[in-house]
Amino acid sequence: MKLYHGSTAIVEQPQILETQRLLDFGKGFYTTTNREQAERWSIIKQKRLGETAKSIVTVYEFNDLLLTSQSLTVRRFNQASEEWLDFVVQNRNEDINHGYDIVIGPVANDTLYQTFTLYEAGILTKPETIARLKVHPLFDQVSFHSHKALDHLKFIDAYPVKAN
């Protein structure tokens, strides 16, 4: 399968970097199967860094048969669910090592921040939160959390993205 990574640089050698903020699925290298989502993310990153930054999408190939093999531990969330919500909230609040090589599931992007804030404040229940999240388009993310998993991600190409 093809995977896309939106950034401000070509990333031929993906790495798991220390981040300043806690992410949906924990520390990892994040990709998506949705090219347009990667392009949007690269533009968001470029705008955060300023006019001199570039907006780049890097394209990879990954053998999706590895997702069902015994060689990698994979956690898959097919949709926004209570289990997914618990996992995302835990990762966004704690720097944990969940032990998965790869995690796949919906993106809880920053436009949904208010819904997460209401849930974490106890104002929304889990079912109410999931219902609100499902009215938004939730793109997928495929995150790599071990060097063993990253070794199977093969660089194909990279291209610049123009902001509208």
Over the stretch 52-102, which tens digit does the pLDDT of each residue have? 889 999 999 999 999 998 999 999 999 888 898 899 889 888 888 899 999
| pLDDT score at 23 | 83
Q: Which amino acid is at 11?
A: V
User: Exposure pattern of 30-68 as b/e (b: 16+ CB <10 Å)?
Assistant: bbbbbbebbbbbbbebbeeeeeeeebbbbbbebeeeeee
Judge whether residue 149 has pLDDT over 80: yes
Give residue 50's pLDDT.
Answer: 83
Read off the pLDDT of residues 119-134 as tens digits, 9 standing for 90 and up: 888 999 999 888 887 7
User: pLDDT value at position 65?
Assistant: 94
pLDDT at residue 123, rounded to an integer = 92
Which of 72, 96, 74 is CA-nearest to residue 24? 96
What's phi and psi for 132, nearest 5 deg?
A: -65, -40
Q: Model pTM? A: 0.88
The yes-or-no verdict on residue 144 having pLDDT over 90 is yes
Q: Which residue has the tokens 């889990």?
A: 126
The yes-or-no verdict on residue 39 having pLDDT over 70 is: yes
